[in-house]
Amino acid sequence: MEKRRIRLTIAYDGTAYCGWQIQPNGITVQQVLNNALQNVLKAPVRTIGASRTDAGVHASGNVVIFDTDSRIPADKFAFALNTWLPADVKVQASEEVAPDWHPHFVDSIKTYEYRILNRQMPDPMQRLDSLFCYYRLDLAAMQKAAQLFVGTHDFASFAAGGGATEQAEQSNYESAEKHGTVRTIYRADVLCEDASTINTAMRTPASAEPAVLDSADAVSAAPVTAGPVSAAPVSASTPSPYHGMIRFVVSGNGFLYNMVRIMAGTLLEVGKGALAPDSIPAILAARSREAAGPTAPAHGLRLVQIEYPQK
């Protein structure tokens, strides 16, 4: 039987793993997935991931491919693999794609989310997937700054070491730019759930929309819709002393090493008043890592999804 190419959508809690890619110094998500595939197919399998998330980073929609001559129906791989995978790694969907389809050689839109729990006291239930921040943040300033990321820019200031990753140079999407540090951001928004909804989660339906804080001074924006996250940008004021769960949601055609975490760290500096919201263009123009804010910790970051406009 000819080889078939199977595409998996995979979700994982990255807390216990040394990132996505197999490496000698610790267990990785790719390693446990390969082990599960070997148990299902009774033979070694080589997997290729669309995004190489770092140690501690989570995902709800990473994409993986592998080739097989198995007769297992494509949509059944998800069920078969989940019986072998640990509780913190699960396949969400499986499907067959063209034999030459490759996640590194097709146009894509990646959406990441960085979560910040802004309240007086830490919540142990949120400790593994959000950054705790006890000081009150200026959300309107953060949203204003986030909007300045939208567009095509040189993001050298927002890259650890100033280099490109995720094999971006192999993509034919804006290939000339992707050899360097230029990326296109389609959406960058700071969203908020009111602190009261965090503290009364047992009385709030899981499907409730995040609270939008009204103000005449609200920052207006028309974000590009990308991914399953939908909520209005935050506004300038709130009666609560803290903001609850803040989410920085960003979509683009590719990201440099630590780029989203540095963007999030820079927005935190804006939120606490250490940087002006209109400083983003100057930081971009500097093309120097020292110009931007700190790298936010890995555990607050999640790869939400990867979209392929032309599958």
Q: Which residue has the tokens 């780029």?
A: 259
For residue 273, is it left (φ>0), alpha (ψ between -120 and 50) or beta?
Answer: left
Q: Is 67 a catalytic residue?
A: no
Q: In a 3-state reduction of DSSP, which class is residue 197?
A: helix
Q: Exposed (0-12), middle (13-18) or buried (19+): which is 158, by Cβ within 10 Å?
A: buried
Which two three-digit tokens encode residue 194?
């009111």
Q: Where are the alpha helices (DSSP H) in the chain?
A: 29-41, 77-82, 139-147, 175-178, 195-199, 259-271, 280-286
Q: In a 3-state reduction of DSSP, which class is residue 132?
A: strand
Dihedral sign for Cα atoms in the order 39, 41, 43, 49? negative
Q: Angle 259-271/139-147 helices, nearest 10 degrees?
A: 140
Q: In a 3-state reduction of DSSP, which class is residue 136?
A: coil
Q: In a 3-state reduction of DSSP, which class is residue 10?
A: strand
φ, ψ of residue 141 to 5 degrees: the values are -65, -40
Which residues, listed in sequence order, are joined to residue 47 by a DSSP beta bridge?
Answer: 66
The residue type found at 175 is S
d(CA 216, CA 237): 9
Of 249, 216, 238, nearest to 146 (Cα)? 249
Of 253, 308, 224, 309, nearest to 9 (Cα)? 308
Among residues 54, 138, 189, 194, the one annotated as catalytic is: 54
d(CA 258, CA 247): 17
Among all residues, which ones are annotated catalytic? 54
